[in-house]
Chains A and B, each alone.
Chain A
Amino acid sequence: MNIIYFLIGCSILMAAAFLGAFFWAQRTGQNDDLYTPSMRMLIDDEEEETPEK
């Protein structure tokens, strides 16, 4: 059953990595504006180099 020590260590490390990822996202402002991207993605891309004037 000593494997439990190792498994718990792994699970905590993984969880800590996710926590770290969240901190990074928060610090770099990725969660500052949660609304505008939802509108931005609905705008169609323009066709490159349209011939009409």
Chain B
Amino acid sequence: MTGSHTIEKEACFHCGDDCLTNAHIIEDKHFCCQGCKSVYQVLSAGNLCNYYVFNDHPGATRARSDKRFDYLSDPTIIADLIDFTDKEITIVTFYIPHIHCSSCLWLLEKLNNINSAIHYCRVDFLKKQLNIRFDNQQLSLQQLVELLYDIGYEPLISLQDVIKKQNEAGKDNLVQKIAVAGFCFGNVMLISFPEYFGLSIYEQTFKHFFGWINLLFALPVIFYSGSSYFVSAWQNLRNKVLNIDFPLALGIAVLFGRTLFEVITNSGAGFTDTLCGLVFFLLVGKFVQKKTYHHISFERDYRSFFPVAVHVVENEVEKPVPLSQLHTGNRMVIRHSEIIPADAILLKGEALIDFSFVTGEAVPVNKTLGEIVYAGGRQTGEAIELEVIKPVSQSYLTQLWNNEAFTRKQDNRMQTFNERVSKYFTIVLLLIAFASLFFWMSTDLRRGFAAFTAVLIVACPCALALSTPFTMSAALSIFDRNLFYLKNTKVVEQMAAIDTIVLDKTGTITSSEGKSVHLEAALTAGQEQLIYSACISSMHPLSRMICQYLGNIQRLPVAEYRETAGKGITATIDRHHLRIGNAQFVLGHQNETIHFTRVHLMIDDVFLGYFAFEHHYRDGMEKIAALETDYPLLLLSGDQNHEQHELIRFFKSPENMRFDQSPQHKLDFIQSLQNDGKKVMMIGDGLNDSGALKQSDLGIAVTDNVNNFSPGSDAILDGASFHKLPSFLRFSKDTVTIIHLSFLISLTYNLIGLSYAVTGNLSPLTAAILMPVSTVTIISFTSIATHFMAKRRNLL
């Protein structure tokens, strides 16, 4: 069935890519590149070929095969990276983005087979971290990283160490506090049961005993588990803010005080059961609200994008220097696909720099010797040498981070519903409590105090405090399932309040494939050569794409060449006269009603046809354009306005599109919208959007791979879910409605409780029943309602 010329494409044994050559074969195993092959060789030498047994093609492609880890010999860098070291062993934790399957786990925990200096390795799969303990006499950190690189697991090492930050964040003992509260709650409930069922006269001694034991259990609940509420309430009072923690702390304190009084005077059973239950449920609510995404960081800035170190030439010798020690006047060497970390002047080499991440401009830029190259660009091509003219922290790009938007505390951007309501709630609660105190005080002081405390106990906004965390965490997990990762629960409410959407262009609404070219003309090889020769002289993005499309053709000498900006090229090559450009330019009339860019071709006054350029916008861009009725849509692009007439179908009018925007412009534009009272959502992807993302009321970073770099933002959206954005917006509004409803429910319970409380006849049993019942109602209502709404919005 196969002819002799048919080569079946083998999948690479290591990474699963198609093998384009047959050059890399070991035994009967095909490899796509030298890199993959060498990984296999390392593993088979270590007798670790089981790696390939657990999963098919578990590896990452290793087409790139240059090692650049010599900066890891610098002591200051080493000190930043490692967790612990002494004379013999070093412990280090790496973040390895490629960890994805059981083979990875197996191999990385068997590093000892490859190098016996490694004593211990443990993978944390969800965090994609590898913890290694090794003998630093036999193995240096650099060698270790090179070893990891050799087997295809390159650790991500950046200045802004993600790992250490995360490990620090999780230490507030919330779980322990819940454990203590739960332990006391359970025991108190058990001991309170006799009281609920009634004790006979003979058993009255037990009543006293049970009371004291309960009081004992209440102590750790108050002073350990519940302490954070008192601290928070006190801090807020000092800042003259009444938030929900105040009535909660008041409720807890009153519960404890009254219990203490009743037990000591032996006048009642006290409310320890309610107290412990309250604190327990509140803490559970807090726990639920805290969702952490181990592999995603929302706080990244330029430091995690820039390399750790750069090569500097000093006295003809190249040595790695940490970025913090890079000074003005240093001469640095930047190789292919390395990032330029500081503003510098080009001294040597041919620079073709890709600024797509900084400016949004998709096409690499040519720089001539002596020109200033701004930080953040990625060199493509040969190695270049540059002289630093500004330190890293003061360069054009990183200056953005000195803006006040980055120093402002992020959390105070918008008051949540809970914060707004709890202020009035607290005031009304205190009014009712004091009213009932004064009402009874004239007749019966004791009853007055009973009513006063009972009001504070019953109206303690437990259900209210729980409605937001439970609704939001349910909403968060639904967003999570749809590949939309929110930084915290407050973001949902921010999203519901949005009324304007601003989009970045490159990488955000255009997908990574960029655009496609197709030729609507029959050209001879000679004609192709002519067109190629004309276009290769032009720096215009479309010309470059035409050249790319035509492939590598021999370039002819150009006799005469003239480029009219925004129109086209006229050239004379090999005595042929070429006109290449838009319809107006080539044909002399305008027929640009079409959406797509065309470049028309004319050789010797004969019209041959045109190149059509079609941009790939992300799926669902139409759906987002349809949001326009509810949310004004604006475009902020760092790019030139080449695509304006194609984008007009999404953005309706040219006023809604701004091109050629610097990062600072973007930030300022968002600010001006906000000054007009708009609540702005910014959707962007690159470092150039960082300022705008930070300034906006809700910044969403779009990325095609959540493990990759994405700028600091409130939420990270996987490109695959871009089309769901309208549903996300509607769903966020739904969740806010659910919170409002659950607030009404909890208010109803409070009213029922209050009707008992104001009379001063609140029995501990009523309180003990009312509190958990209201809590359970709220929790079940919010989770059922959230799931129902998610179904309705097709998010489940």
Contact = CB atoms under 8 A, between A and B. Distances in A.
B206 A4 contact: yes
B626 interface: no
A1 B209 CA distance: 13
A45 B723 CA distance: 45
B525 to A, nearest CB: 54
Nearest to A38: B125
B696 to A, nearest CB: 34
A6 to B, nearest CB: 12
Contacts of B180: 19
Interface string B184-201: 001100110000000000
A43 B106 contact: yes
Contact of B179 (A22, A32, A36): A22
A16 B220 CA distance: 13
Contact of B126 (A35, A40, A42, A46): A35
Contact of B209 (A5, A15, A39): A5
B102 A15 contact: no
Interface string A11-24: 11001100100110
Contacts of A4: 206
Interface residues of A, number: 23
Interface string B29-56: 0000000000000000001001000100
Interface string B120-135: 0011111100000000
A15 B179 contact: no
Contact of B102 (A11, A16, A26, A42): A42
B421 interface: no
B729 interface: no
B175 interface: yes
Interface in B124-150: 124-127
Contacts of A11: 187, 190
B132 to A, nearest CB: 15
A39 B127 CA distance: 14
B206 A43 contact: no
B213 A39 contact: no
Given A8-B191, A36-B125, A39-B125, A15 B183 contact: yes
Contacts of A28: none
24 contacts: A1-B206, A4-B206, A5-B209, A8-B191, A11-B190, A15-B183, A16-B183, A19-B180, A23-B176, A26-B175, A26-B179, A32-B124, A33-B125, A33-B126, A35-B125, A36-B105, A36-B122, A36-B123, A36-B125, A36-B126, A40-B105, A40-B109, A42-B102, A43-B105
Interface of A: 1, 4-5, 8, 11-12, 15-16, 19, 22-23, 26, 31-33, 35-36, 39-40, 42-43, 46, 53
Given A26-B175, A42-B102, 9 more contacts: A1-B203, A11-B187, A15-B187, A31-B175, A33-B125, A36-B105, A36-B125, A39-B105, A46-B50
